[in-house]
């Protein structure tokens, strides 16, 4: 053979080998007829549970029930589940665990046996690791009815970076859904959280009265949750505040007796979380000795369990006392501190906490407004309707929050009051496993597991789009309609998901957001029409103009837009109540109160100032003087339109605050300390009739910027808000000549033309010193006008 020919044949053969190898490593693996091979009763409980969960979850999705055996099948594929150091299974050694020393770690590998049959090995460092390996497989499988496969061989190894990854699932009346769950529903939900990496659940065994929807007693659920957590290898925490005065010996003894009974009866308790405040108002001088007694009762039945403390609402001297107490007493029963709403910042806690103790975060990922992490510059229309506990999938926002603070903590157990935040829980669970996790990959696995592989890509895009619905001005966000179109198409494509509560939640948000936008556009136009009617008061008379304006505003009730969306919302709320116990209405579904997920009770809440107009007009009708009536009507109709050369900002309204200076982006300022976020007050159960601009606020904006002013004109700054307003104009303090301090009352600050000789003004605000004042009573800013005087 000629050397050239030999060389060519050698190259061809090498290419063939490479091609064959590539085909082999990327070929799909059919697992439809797989057998699950286990150690049987020799395996620890959680390892046995892992096998059961794998078989049950596969059967739900495919109709195929994999057999479980302790012997290898004579033919066909297998899924092998084992844990421990150098484990074997029916005489075969498991493949090397790539993370042999990492608790809760797993290795999942696809290996062909000597007959060419594929085996998916799930090897856990410990039983929990085996369970998490099962979760990885379930989130990766490509399945349909009657078919199960892997797109390619699986070779994955992982272990969690955070030792605490959990969520509060308190069985209490304040919850918007958990209180309607029976033990089986809790079991399934805890299973699903664990399959995405969670390893802790926190219950609320006592606080709040029992609710009308509870299928079992609080006591029974406390015990059942303990058993469920034990089965899944999940740590069982309990949240146990002291709402009594701990200096009252009788009440203190009664509370300790409640603790003792709980610890005695529960199969497993791993940690106690005692919130220092919210609720509770005891000083640490009483709290620390009380917790020492709690720890003795706890460790009598659960020797490894520990007690944790948050210093929510503690004053600085109380915080100092806790750290001094810990350093002096060095308690072995103390697990660590918990940071959360109204606590000291996590970096501060980490720096002062002795190294032997751990630090747990308690993030509020459940509330949209009036919360630790309010949604960013939320349009007031959503704040008034979707409210505090509307469906809130915000994977981008909450992953940003997580990554900003995870370096300081040993993990988290989130504050959650219902299943409306399910996406956020999943995102935090996977980030707790690995903070560098690609959030889109998490959502793809979420959608694949819960909705199906064929829908995963589009449903993932749909969840991202749902978050974008809350971005910026709702009136100007045409993407809301595109999001609805996407979810409507998905719904038509997947009728089999009509009873899936996660699917229902996504559909509810898509329809709800679109309906609120349609109403906002419609009712904003009605208010503009009413203002035009009031402008005719001089020609047709004040009473006639008021009659016209009221008739126009009443069309919000009689001429509602998009009736089909409203009907869809009602249907989805009813389906969610029956599928998962979601309480979207106080009267209809027995929600605890109007702040607790009652989105249905606010679906028709006014999105203009109709109520305020009605009350103002009723007052004006009682006036005797025609000129006074006309003047008051002119004030109403020009409230937001002060005339040529003048400017108006509704400070907390993203759509009506063009002069408000925005600060840093979320990635560099996740808590929005340098880019203040609007807040929304809550009066009269959300049914207050004041101007809506007095409900939204900022305390305090970075400033307001104006350019192109007339340096020869006289300008006055006018504000509304509450309490004090310490105004600076281009750095110089200006005092008011009119200083109303009540809600909606006017302040006025005439300006010296020397301050804007260059035609530019920046308004800034000194923060009033108000120590000890409840946040509902602190000073705040709601509206700002820069008024040009046309009389000169």
What pLDDT is recorded for position 18? 33
pLDDT of 783 strictly over 70: yes
Distances, alpha carbon 468 to alpha carbons 100, 151, 395, 427, 477, in Å: 42, 31, 10, 17, 9
Phi-psi region of 684 (alpha: psi -120 to 50; beta: other; left: phi over 0): left
**Residues 231/49, Cβ–Cβ less than 8 Å:** yes
| pLDDT tens-digit readout, 185-210 | 999 999 999 999 999 999 999 988 89
Mean pLDDT for the chain?
94
pLDDT of 454 strictly over 80: yes
| pLDDT tens-digit readout, 539-572 | 999 999 999 999 999 999 999 999 999 999 999 9
pLDDT of 789 strictly over 60: yes
What pLDDT is recorded for position 772? 79
Which tokens sit at 120? 């998916």
Alpha-carbon dihedral angle through residues 583, 584, 586, 589, given to the nearest 10 degrees: -50
User: In the chain, what is the straight-line distance between the N-terminal and C-terminal CA atoms, in Å?
Assistant: 108
What pLDDT is recorded for position 268? 97
694-721 average pLDDT score: 96
Distance between CA atoms of residues 179 and 172, nearest Å:
5
82-100 average pLDDT score: 89
Distance between CA atoms of residues 672 and 713, nearest Å:
36
Distance between CA atoms of residues 567 and 584, nearest Å:
14
pLDDT of 754 strictly over 90: yes
Residue recorded with tokens 């063009």: 658
What pLDDT is recorded for position 13? 39
Which of 92-101, 127-136, 202-211, 650-659 is predicted least confidently? 92-101
pLDDT of 8 strictly over 50: no
**Residues 271/335, Cβ–Cβ less than 8 Å:** yes
Distances, alpha carbon 788 to alpha carbons 96, 452, 716, 719, 746, in Å: 78, 61, 7, 14, 17
Residue with the bigger pLDDT between 39 and 668: it is: 39
pLDDT of 9 strictly over 70: no
Alpha-carbon dihedral angle through residues 285, 289, 294, 299, given to the nearest 10 degrees: 140
Q: How many CA atoms lie within 13 A of 666 on its CB side?
A: 15
**Residues 510/466, Cβ–Cβ less than 8 Å:** yes
Strand 726-729 and strand 761-766: the pairing is antiparallel
pLDDT of 751 strictly over 60: yes
| pLDDT tens-digit readout, 291-339 | 999 999 999 999 999 999 999 989 999 999 999 999 999 999 999 999 9
Q: Looking at residue 364, what DSSP letter applies? A: B
Distances, alpha carbon 237 to alpha carbons 142, 362, 428, 781, in Å: 35, 13, 18, 41
- Cα 719 to its chain centre, rounded Å, is 33
For residues 93-117, one letter each, b for 16 or more C-beta atoms within 10 angstroms of the residue's C-beta and e for the rest, the string is ebbebbbeebebbbbbbbeeeeeeb
**Residues 506/463, Cβ–Cβ less than 8 Å:** yes
1-21 average pLDDT score: 37
Rg, C-alpha atoms of the chain: 31
Report helix, strand or coil for 375. coil
| pLDDT tens-digit readout, 662-698 | 988 888 888 888 889 999 998 888 899 999 999 999 9
The 3-state secondary structure of 525-579 reads: HHHHHHHHHHCCHHHHCHHHHHHHHHHHHCHHHHCCCCHHHHHHHHHHHHHHHHH
Distance between CA atoms of residues 679 and 692, nearest Å:
12
Residue recorded with tokens 């090498």: 14
What pLDDT is recorded for position 786? 98
Distance between CA atoms of residues 731 and 516, nearest Å:
41
| pLDDT tens-digit readout, 113-169 | 877 889 999 999 999 999 999 999 999 999 999 999 999 999 999 999 999 999 999
Distances, alpha carbon 55 to alpha carbons 65, 66, 79, 84, in Å: 6, 6, 10, 21
What pLDDT is recorded for position 792? 67
Phi-psi region of 165 (alpha: psi -120 to 50; beta: other; left: phi over 0): beta
Which tokens sit at 300? 């009598």
**Residues 99/159, Cβ–Cβ less than 8 Å:** yes
Distance between CA atoms of residues 472 and 375, nearest Å:
11
Distance between CA atoms of residues 685 and 666, nearest Å:
31
What pLDDT is recorded for position 461? 98
Farthest-apart Cα atoms in the chain, separation: 119
pLDDT of 4 strictly over 50: no
Report helix, strand or coil for 780. strand
Which residues are CB-neighbours of 438 under 8 A, at least 6 positions away? Answer: none
What pLDDT is recorded for position 101? 81
Report helix, strand or coil for 342. coil
Peptide bond into 700 cis (omega under 30): yes
| pLDDT tens-digit readout, 226-239 | 999 999 999 999 99
What pLDDT is recorded for position 26? 53
**Residues 712/753, Cβ–Cβ less than 8 Å:** yes
In terms of Cα–Cα distance, which of 287, 302, 362, 355 is closest to 333? 302
What pLDDT is recorded for position 15? 35
464-493 average pLDDT score: 97
What pLDDT is recorded for position 254? 97
In terms of Cα–Cα distance, which of 721, 679, 692 is closest to 520? 692
Distances, alpha carbon 790 to alpha carbons 446, 659, 709, 736, in Å: 61, 22, 13, 20
């Amino acid at each position: 053979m000629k050397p050239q020919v030999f060389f060519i044949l050698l190259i061809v053969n090498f290419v063939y080998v490479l091609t064959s190898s590539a085909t082999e490593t990327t070929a799909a693996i059919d697992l439809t007829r797989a057998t699950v091979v286990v150690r049987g009763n020799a395996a620890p409980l959680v390892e046995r549970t892992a096998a059961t969960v794998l078989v049950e979850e596969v059967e739900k999705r495919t109709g195929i029930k994999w057999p479980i055996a302790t012997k290898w099948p004579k033919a066909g594929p297998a899924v092998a589940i084992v844990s421990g150091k150098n484990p074997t299974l029916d005489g075969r050694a498991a493949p090397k665990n790539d993370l042999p020393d990492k608790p809760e770690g797993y290795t999942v590998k696809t290996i062909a046996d000597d007959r060419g049959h594929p085996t998916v090995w799930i090897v856990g460092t410990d039983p929990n690791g085996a369970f998490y390996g099962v979760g990885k497989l379930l989130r990766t499988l490509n399945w349909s009815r009657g078919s199960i496969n892997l797109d390619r061989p699986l070779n994955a190894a992982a272990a969690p970076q955070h030792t605490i990854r959990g969520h509060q699932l308190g069985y209490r009346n304040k919850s918007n859904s958990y209180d309607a769950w029976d033990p089986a529903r809790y079991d399934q939900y805890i299973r699903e959280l664990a399959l995405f990496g969670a390893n802790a659940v926190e219950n609320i065994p006592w606080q709040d009265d029992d609710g009308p929807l509870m299928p079992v007693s609080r006591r029974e659920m406390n015990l059942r949750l303990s058993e469920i957590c034990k089965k899944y290898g999940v740590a069982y925490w309990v949240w146990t505040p002291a709402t009594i005065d701990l200096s009252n010996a009788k009440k203190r003894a009664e509370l300790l007796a409640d603790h003792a009974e709980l610890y005695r009866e529960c199969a497993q308790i791993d940690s106690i979380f005692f919130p220092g405040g919210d609720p509770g108002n005891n000083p640490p001088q009483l709290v620390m000795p009380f917790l020492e007694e709690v720890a003795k009762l706890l460790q009598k039945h659960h020797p490894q369990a520990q007690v944790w403390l948050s210093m929510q609402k503690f004053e600085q001297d109380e915080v100092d006392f806790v750290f001094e107490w810990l350093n002096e007493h060095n308690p072995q029963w103390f697990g660590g501190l918990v940071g959360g709403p109204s606590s000291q910042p996590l970096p501060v806690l980490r720096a002062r906490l002795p190294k032997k103790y751990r630090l747990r975060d308690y993030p509020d990922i459940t509330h949209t407004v009036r919360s630790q992490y309010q949604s960013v510059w939320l349009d007031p229309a959503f704040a008034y309707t979707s409210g505090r506990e509307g469906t809130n999938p915000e994977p981008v926002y909450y992953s940003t929050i997580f990554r900003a603070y995870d370096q300081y903590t040993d993990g988290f157990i989130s504050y959650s009051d219902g299943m409306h935040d399910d996406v956020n829980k999943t995102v935090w669970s996977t980030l707790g496993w690995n903070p560098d996790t690609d959030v889109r990959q998490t959502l793809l696995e979420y959608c694949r597991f819960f909705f199906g592989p064929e829908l995963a890509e589009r449903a993932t895009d749909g969840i991202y789009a749902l978050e974008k619905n809350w971005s910026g001005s709702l009136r100007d966000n045409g993407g809301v309609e595109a999001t609805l179109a996407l979810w409507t198409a998905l719904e038509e494509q997947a009728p089999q998901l009509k009873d899936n509560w996660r699917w229902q939640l996504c559909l509810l948000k898509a329809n709800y957001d679109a309906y609120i936008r349609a109403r906002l556009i419609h009712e904003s136009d009605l208010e503009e029409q009413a203002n035009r009617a009031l402008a005719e008061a001089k020609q047709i008379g004040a009473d006639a103009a008021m009659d016209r304006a009221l008739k126009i505003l009443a069309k919000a009730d009689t001429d509602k837009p998009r009736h089909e969306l409203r009907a869809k919302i009602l249907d989805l709320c009813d389906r969610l109540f029956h599928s998962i116990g979601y309480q979207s209405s106080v009267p209809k579904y027995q929600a605890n109160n109007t702040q607790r997920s009652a989105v249905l009770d606010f679906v028709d809440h006014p999105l203009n100032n109709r109520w305020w107009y009605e009350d103002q007009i009723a007052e004006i009708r009682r006036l005797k003087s025609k000129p006074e009536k006309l003047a008051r009507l002119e004030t109403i109709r020009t409230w937001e339109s002060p005339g040529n050369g003048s400017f108006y900002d509704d400070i907390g309204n993203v759509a009506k605050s063009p002069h408000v200076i925005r600060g840093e982006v979320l990635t560099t300022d996740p808590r929005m300390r340098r880019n203040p976020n609007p807040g929304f007050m809550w009066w009269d159960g959300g049914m207050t009739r004041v101007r809506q601009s007095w409900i939204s606020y900022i305390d305090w904006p970075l400033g307001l910027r104006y350019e192109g002013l007339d340096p020869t004109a006289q300008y006055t700054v006018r504000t509304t808000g509450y309490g004090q307003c310490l105004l600076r104009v281009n750095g110089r303090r200006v005092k008011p000549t009119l200083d109303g301090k009540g809600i909606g009352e006017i302040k006025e600050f005439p300006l010296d033309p020397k301050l804007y000789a260059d035609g530019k003004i920046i308004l800034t605000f000194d923060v009033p010193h108000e120590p000890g004042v409840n946040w509902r009573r602190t000073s705040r800013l709601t509206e700002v006008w820069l008024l040009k005087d046309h009389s000169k």
